[in-house]
Structure 1
Amino acid sequence: MKIGFDAKRLFHNNTGLGNYSRDLVRILKTYYPNNDYILYNPKPKDLPFFSDKNNFNIISPSGLMRKLHFIWRTYGIAKTATAKQLDIYHGLSGEIAVGLPSNVKKVVTIHDLIFERYPHLYSKWDRKAHFKKFKYAVDNADAIVAISEQTKQDIVTYLKVAPEKIEVIYQGCAQAFKEHYTINELQTTREKFNLPEQFVLNVGTIEERKNALSLVKAIKDLDTKLVLIGRKTDYAKSIDQYIAEHKIEHKVIFLHGVSLIELAHIYQLATVFAYPSIFEGFGIPIIEALYSGTPVITTNSGVFPEAGGPDSIYVNEYDVEQISDAISTLLKDETTRLQIAEQGKVYAQKFNDEQIAKHWNNLYTKILE
């Protein structure tokens, strides 16, 4: 098969959508190396996180389109010579290129519809633009894939798609989180970032939807420290203000410039992973924590039980006292922590590379038939 991918996020997003894109392409390349994989990248950049570039044909705009790369991504890809030779074009993040030849089968992955669920988090223009692109994608795709049952329900509700037209294929996580690291490797990372022996970890963009402020409040009176890893937004100002008002600067550690391998080390060093997010399409950090053998505390509604499985600890994301009690219980009870961690690793196998690769190959094969 000759498969083209909208690779904007793959190249230029270092977090959720980028991780999903890189991981899916990596998995397909590993299990189906005989396919041709074409990556449409609107802005030239070195291919991240891959050591072998031989199986990828990278297409970027030339001439004037280099400056109009945002237009090229939507309207220019279909005019490239390679697009006419594709068997499948896969939009990895809710969009598909306009004007692709009719013989090219079109697949789109929808991660979430947060702009519809929580419109106050987006400008009016962004909401309209997102809706237009997503609606075009689902109306013109030969296959629509949701990354969770929760997202499938939202596609039905907000984009008015019949449920039988949507397939759920879970995402996995990078191989780095599945590796076993030596004590020396972990200690090197601990010393580099000056991490304590015991700490609570949270990973994700520091924005209102991720709800890190509730987590800061939850650990205020606990004998532990909180490590926050993620890009700061304006929402982080409210966290900084709370920290200053309660004089707990020594209890909250913000980390930046963390490599993928270092992040995997930090997951394994963490005592507890806490993720009281308000809403996610899936919640990939939960899977990263499960594979890392770190017990998870997360939200008791939406997609979170789907991602965390039956043995994670679930809380009301708005109930600071409940979050605090859950953290305190795990910090004090090593036996329970180890039990949850082991059971979490077992549950995480449903998101392993081989299963994901088979699901995608079956889908691609089906739409070509």
Structure 2
Amino acid sequence: MNIGFDGKRATQNLTGLGNYSRYLIRLLTILYPENKYLVYTLKNPSSGMAIKDVVYKYPGNQLFKSYWRSKSVVNDLIRDKIDLFHGLSNEIPFGLKSAGIPSVVSIHDLIFIRYPQYYSFIDRAIYKLKFRHAAQKADKIIAISEQTKNDLIQFLGVSEESIEVIYQDCDPMFHQSVASSVNAEIKERYTLPDKYILNVGTIEERKNLMLIVKALLEVPDIHLVVVGRETSYSQKVRQFIKENKLHERVHLLQNVAYLDLPAIYQQAELFIYPSRFEGFGIPVVEALHSGVPVIAAKGSCLEEAGGPESIYVDPDDELEMADQIKNVLDNDEKRIKMVSAGREYLNKFDSKRISGQLTQLYQNVINNAKR
């Protein structure tokens, strides 16, 4: 098969959509090398984002790059004899269906519909146009969680038969134990405390970092390390930290190298992800692979990511959060059970299983298009 991918996020983005795109493409090149994989992108891959054994394709006219990605790339797909196009980040080009090119789209979440207050009017309008077009025109939709599948049915009126849930795993580097010498080096580089809770993710209102910070007031003798890009919401968090004299216990790390994350995870006592809503929650999976117990928020798909032995709390109840933090930190038997159950639950995200589901889906879509 000749498989084409939208490479905008895969070549430029270091956060969720970019990581998902690279993970999926890299997985297929390793486990199904007999296929040809072509990535259609506006720019050369940024440092560390190039994927071995793929062909990168670029617009011929640099003055109309956005138009190429959304529409005229279809001419290139025809020229390159693409058997199937996979839009990895919620959208596909216009004109695929009329050109007779089968397509699949991965839709990650519909947070812009559930929580419109977090998005500008213009962004919501653009997202709605792109998501609705992809959902209507793609031959099959990949939802990255049951939560996203349900949202597609509820908010966009997509038929259940059009959707297949295929989970994702995290970067394989989180699967490996970090050497003690590397842990020591990373601890020194980022001035990590001896004992800390970890949170990883953009510091924005939806991610709800304030819940952990407030809970710290009830949990002495533990530090909080936060890794994530700051937004205007960060100022509210920083102000609360200052007013409550938590500045010595809360560490907001900036410019953390992606390759340093496994060591930061593996030295944590506990990982907390209190986000109000996620499409999946890959940091939870990273924590489970790192052998760290997880507390997350109720209300979206985080139970799908963390499994039955992780702990889930009300995203507005800092006292419940504090109680559960103490429950984990003060109970070695509980911690061991959570870590062991988490590792077992990860079988659900086995790479061979996921890649097999993907290639079977591709083949089914191609075969149906030929009928």
TM-score by length of 2: 0.95
The residue number in structure 2 matching 1:318 is 316
Partner of 2:4: 4
Instruction: Choose which of 117, 124, 142 in structure 2 pairs with 1:145.
Output: 142
Distance across 1 between alignment mates of 2:181 and 2:254: 22
- Quote the Cα distance in structure 2 between the aligned partners of 1:111 and 1:47: 25
Deviation at 1:67, TM superposition (A): 4.2
2:169 corresponding residue in structure 1: 172
In structure 2, the residue matched to 1:87 is 83
- Moved >4 Å (runs of 4+): 81-84
Give the match for residue 338 of structure 2.
340
Residue 89 of structure 2 aligns with an amino acid whose one-letter code is S
Which residue, out of 66, 71, 81, partners 1:70? 66
SS in 1 for 2:100: coil
Taking the aligned partners of 1:33 and 1:77, their CA distance within structure 2 comes to 24
Task: Give the Å deviation of 1:263.
Answer: 0.3
Secondary structure at 2:272 match in 1? strand
Q: Please give the alpha-carbon distance, in whole angstroms, between the structure 2 residues aligned to 1:234 and 1:67.
A: 33
Assess, with a 3 A threshold, how the Cα gap between structure 1 residues 364 and 220 changes in structure 2: closer, same or farther.
same
**Cross-structure match for 2:286:** 288
Cα shift at 1:181 = 1.6
Corresponding residue number in structure 1 for 2:258:
260
1:234 alignment counterpart: 232
Query: Structure 1: where are the runs of 5+ without partners?
Result: none
Match of 2:361 in 1: 363
Deviation at 1:103, TM superposition (A): 2.9
- For the residue of structure 2 that corresponds to 1:151, the secondary structure is helix
Given that residues 74 and 99 in structure 2 are in contact (C-alpha distance below 8 angstroms), is that contact kept between their aligned partners in structure 1? no
Structure 1 residues 297 and 83 mapped into 2: Cα distance closer, same or farther (>3 Å)?
farther
Matched, 1:200 2:197: yes
Q: Which whole-Å CA distance do the structure 2 matches of 1:47 and 1:245 have between them?
A: 40
User: Which of these residues, 52, 55, 66, is aligned with residue 57 of structure 1?
Assistant: 55
Distance 2:352 2:183 in 1: 28
Is the 8 Å Cα contact of residues 8 and 41 (structure 1) preserved in structure 2? Answer: yes
Correspondence for 1:156 among 153, 157, 179: 153
Query: What SS does the aligned partner of 1:250 have?
Result: coil
Q: Where does residue 25 of structure 2 map in the other structure?
A: 25
Residue in 2 aligned with 1:41? Answer: 41
Q: Mean alpha-carbon deviation: is it higher for 180-189 or for 274-283? A: 180-189
RMSD: 1.4
Aligned to 2:111: 114
Q: Is the 8 A contact 1:106 1:141 kept in 2?
A: yes
1:186 pairs with 2:186: no
Question: What displacement does 1:174 show?
Answer: 0.3
Per-residue displacement from partner, 1:38-88 (whole Å, max 9, x unpaired)? 1111123346345x63x211112233xx24433221123112266551001
Residues in 1 aligned to 2:64 and 2:318: alpha-carbon distance in whole angstroms: 46
Aligned to 2:211: 214
Aligned position for 1:104: 101
Does the 8 Å contact 1:43/1:69 carry over to 2?
no
> Is 251-260 or 128-137 further displaced after alignment?
251-260
Q: Any conservation in 2 of the 1:87–1:103 contact (CA below 8 Å)?
A: no
Distance in 2, Cα, partners of 1:199 & 1:309: 23
Identity %: 42
Residue pair 2:297, 2:312 contacting (<8 A) in 1 also: yes
Give the drift of 1:217.
Answer: 0.9
Partner Cα separation in structure 2 for residue 123 and residue 83 of structure 1: 38
2:248 is paired with a residue whose SS is helix
User: How far apart, CA to CA, are the structure 2 residues paired with 1:140 and 1:48?
Assistant: 33
User: C-alpha displacement at 1:334, in angstroms?
Assistant: 2.1
What are the Cα deviations for residues 91-111 of structure 1, in whole angstroms up to 9, with x where unaligned? 001100112363321100000
| Paired residues, number | 365
Aligned-partner residue type, residue 5 of structure 1: F
8 Å CA contact 1:176–1:264 kept in 2: the answer is yes
Letter paired with 1:10: A
Counterpart-to-counterpart distance in 2, 1:49 and 1:74: 22
Residue 309 (structure 1) aligns with: 307
Q: Give the partner amino acid of 1:313.
A: I
Q: Judge which range, 98-107 or 298-307, deviates more.
A: 98-107
Q: Distance in 2 between matches of 1:18 and 1:338?
A: 33
Query: Are the aligned partners of 2:11 and 2:49 in contact in 1 as well (CA < 8 Å)?
Result: no
Q: Distance in 2 between matches of 1:177 and 1:123?
A: 35
**CA deviations over 1:213-247 (Å, ceiling 9, x no partner):** 11111113422111111111111110011111112
> In 2, distance between residues paired with 1:103 and 1:163?
23
Secondary structure of 1:22's counterpart equals: helix
Distance 2:3 2:77 in 1: 14
AA at the equivalent of 2:310: S
